[in-house]
Every structure is written in C-alpha cells, then in structure tokens.
C-alpha cells in the first residue's frame, strides 16, 4: 500500500506543469515569441520584459520609414549632402558590422537599398501590389547605393552617395536576437528560446531535451522539417513567402537583387543554421540573403563567403538542397522530400 502511494505521488508530481514560461508579443512589425525553461514565473517574466523593452527601443531607433527614428534622421542627412552626423555608439557599431557583412557578401547583402525597397512598396506596414515602375527602379540601380559609400569615423557618419538610404530590415532582427541572448544570460537565465519573426536563438535546453524548431514549408501551411537547436545556436530563413505580392501571376518577394533591382527569383527559401558565437543572431538574419539572391550555381560559393556550413535551399521548383552537416541535424516531417545532399 505504501509503495502504491509512493508511485502515485511520483506520477502526480510528474504530471505537474513543466516550468516553462512562454510569451508572445507583436513588436518590430512581427511576432516575438520567448520561452524560458526552469525559472520561477516572476524571474522569467522580469527577464522577458527587459528583452521586450530593448526590442521596443531598437524598433524605434532603427525604423526605416518613420521619420523620427535615429536611422531615418541619418537617411535624411545622407540625402541632402555629405555633412557628417553624430550617431549613437551603438548605431555606429551596427553600421560598421553591416558594412563588413555587405563587403563579405560582395554587396548581395545591401542595407543601403532603402530607396529601391521603397520603390517596390515594401517599406510599409501593409503593402499592396505596386505598378512596377521600371524607370524608377533602374534609376536606383544605376546610382549604385552601397555600404562602401558610407564613411564612419568616431561615431560621425556621412555618405558619399546621396542615393544611399539605410534599411536594416535584413539585420535588425538578428542584432536584436544577439542582444536578447546577452540580456537573458546577464539575468541568470540559462534555458531560453527567442523567436523574432522566425529568426531564432537558443540558450541551454528545454528540460532534458534540446530546443526543437520546426522549419516552415515555403508553400504549405505546415513545417517541413524539425531541427534541434543546441545552446547558443541560431537559425534563420529567407523566404519568398514572408513578404510578397502577386501581379499578373508572378510572385514578387521582398528580397531584392541589388544587381538588377528586381526581387530575386528562382528560390523559395534558404534556411541557415549558425553555430554559437557573439554574432550568431546577426548571421542567422544576414547570411541567408546572399545565398537566396545568388543564382543556382553560385549559391554554394555565396554560402562559403558568408562562412555558412549548415544550410538548406528550396528552389523555385520545390527541390531541396542541403549540406551534409545540415542534413544530419534535420528530421523531415514531410514524406519523401525531393532531396540533394551536398558533401561537406
């Protein structure tokens, strides 16, 4: 009888709620999803609130089309001449990092394309199909706005090209992820998962298991694969299904090829898995873009340039290419994916 009571007690304890605190918020014009495991609710909520406050701050600082953000004010000064403007040390550091990554990607990751992004109608909370104005697009392509036009010295910034307009849409979420990981660690949180608009970073584990991430299928309302995200790892996807419009049967996504000024074609999605490091979040956001934009035969080279070893590509025809390392980490949830594995 006593043994029976003990067993019942153990059963009841194990049936109790697991120590997982989850929150969802709409910030950054997207969904922010934070999970914390193994902490008291009070401590978890305190830490989450710090992370969200920081996101809110970054959102205001880096907003690309609200005129009062620090970034917009810098853009306004770029447009009217090359007088140096004082920026915060944080923005200065971000611009240096973004310039370096742009150079590394041979300019395919190009946050100086704000005018072009606007010409395509993507700099809006709610965008509608635009009449494609080729003359306008060609004007911005010819002006060649690039991160290398920006001069940064002692937190004074100016641009040698008035066509430069910064839009950190392909960088800010990743930066915010790195900041979130740092804030959570500083708060003594060991196990957490932060998801900003699909870009995810993991700290520790979910109890006795690693955190598990579903990778969205670019055409179906279901995840196509599952990946375990170990401590410090980050994952990010660039897809033609996140922000796009359709005009005359053609899909135009928000990822623009700076060489043509048109949305990159030929790819449905690129997912990158980034090992732990100070910039894992930034890399999870940035590194998928050059791979997405590059033509089929240049994708592997683009990945190499960004030092990405773990990636998955879904082509416009739905064919999946994965690196061997990535393949080993994936659990497919769809039956018989049309798969090609690249040796490491």
Q: 229 by DSSP, 3-state: which?
A: strand
Q: Are 141 and 116 in contact (CB under 8 A)?
A: yes
Residues 94-113 that bind other proteins (CB under 8 A): none
Cα–Cα distance measured from residue 225 to residue 214, given in angstroms and rounded to the nearest whole number: 6
Tell me the closest approach of the beta carbon of residue 312 to other proteins, in angstroms.
10
> For the window 7-26, what string marks contact with other proteins as x by the rule CB under 8 A?
----------------xxxx
What does the radius of gyration of the chain's CA atoms come to, in whole angstroms?
Answer: 22
DSSP per-residue string spanning 275-309? -SSTTHHHHHHHTHHHHHHS-GGGHHHHHHHTT--
Looking at the Cβ atoms of 88 and 222, the one nearer to other proteins is 222
Could you tell me the two tokens for 275?
């090992």
Looking at the Cβ atoms of 4 and 26, the one nearer to other proteins is 26
Tell me the closest approach of the beta carbon of residue 285 to other proteins, in angstroms.
12
Residues 116-135 that bind other proteins (CB under 8 A): 125-128
Cα–Cα distance measured from residue 210 to residue 230, given in angstroms and rounded to the nearest whole number: 6
Residue with tokens 């030929």: 266
Total residues at interface with other proteins (CB under 8 A): 41
> For the window 160-199, what string marks contact with other proteins as x by the rule CB under 8 A?
---------------------------------x-x-xxx
Residue 277 makes contact with other proteins by CB under 8 A? no
Q: Give bridge partners of residue 271 from the DSSP assignment.
A: 237, 312
* Residues of this chain that bind other proteins (CB under 8 A): 23-26, 29-31, 33, 35, 125-128, 193, 195, 197-200, 206, 211-216, 221-223, 226-227, 235-237, 239, 241-242, 245, 271, 333, 335
């Amino acid at each position: 009888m006593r043994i029976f009571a003990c067993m019942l007690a153990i059963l009841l304890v194990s049936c109790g709620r697991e120590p997982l605190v989850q929150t969802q918020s709409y910030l950054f014009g997207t969904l922010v999803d934070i999970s914390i495991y193994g902490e008291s609710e009070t401590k978890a909520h305190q830490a989450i609130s710090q992370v969200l406050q920081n996101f809110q701050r970054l959102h205001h600082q880096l907003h690309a089309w609200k005129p009062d953000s620090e970034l917009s004010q810098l853009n306004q000064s770029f447009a009217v001449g090359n007088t140096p403007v004082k920026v915060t040390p944080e923005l200065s550091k971000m611009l240096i990092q973004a310039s370096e990554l742009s150079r590394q990607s041979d300019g395919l990751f190009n946050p100086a394309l704000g005018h072009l992004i606007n010409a395509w109608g993507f700099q809006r909370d709610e965008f509608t199909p635009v009449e494609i104005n080729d003359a306008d697009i060609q004007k911005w392509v010819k002006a060649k706005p690039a991160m290398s036009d920006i001069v940064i010295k002692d937190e004074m910034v100016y641009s040698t090209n008035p066509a430069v307009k910064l839009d950190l849409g392909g960088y800010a979420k990743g930066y915010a992820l790195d900041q979130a990981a740092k804030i959570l660690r500083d708060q003594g949180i060991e196990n957490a998962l932060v998801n900003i608009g699909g870009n995810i970073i993991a700290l520790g584990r979910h109890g006795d298991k690693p955190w598990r991430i579903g990778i969205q299928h670019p055409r179906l309302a279901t995840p196509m694969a599952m990946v375990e995200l170990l401590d410090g790892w980050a994952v990010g996807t660039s897809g033609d299904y996140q922000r796009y419009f359709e005009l005359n049967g053609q899909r135009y996504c928000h990822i623009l090829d700076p060489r043509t000024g048109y949305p990159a074609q030929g790819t449905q999605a690129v997912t990158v898995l980034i090992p732990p490091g100070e910039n894992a979040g930034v890399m999870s956001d940035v590194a998928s873009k050059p791979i997405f934009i590059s033509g089929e035969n240049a994708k592997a080279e683009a990945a190499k340039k960004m030092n990405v070893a773990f990636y998955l590509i879904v082509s416009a025809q739905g064919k999946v290419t994965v690196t061997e390392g990535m393949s080993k980490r994936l659990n497919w949830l769809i039956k018989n994916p049309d798969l090609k594995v690249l040796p490491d």
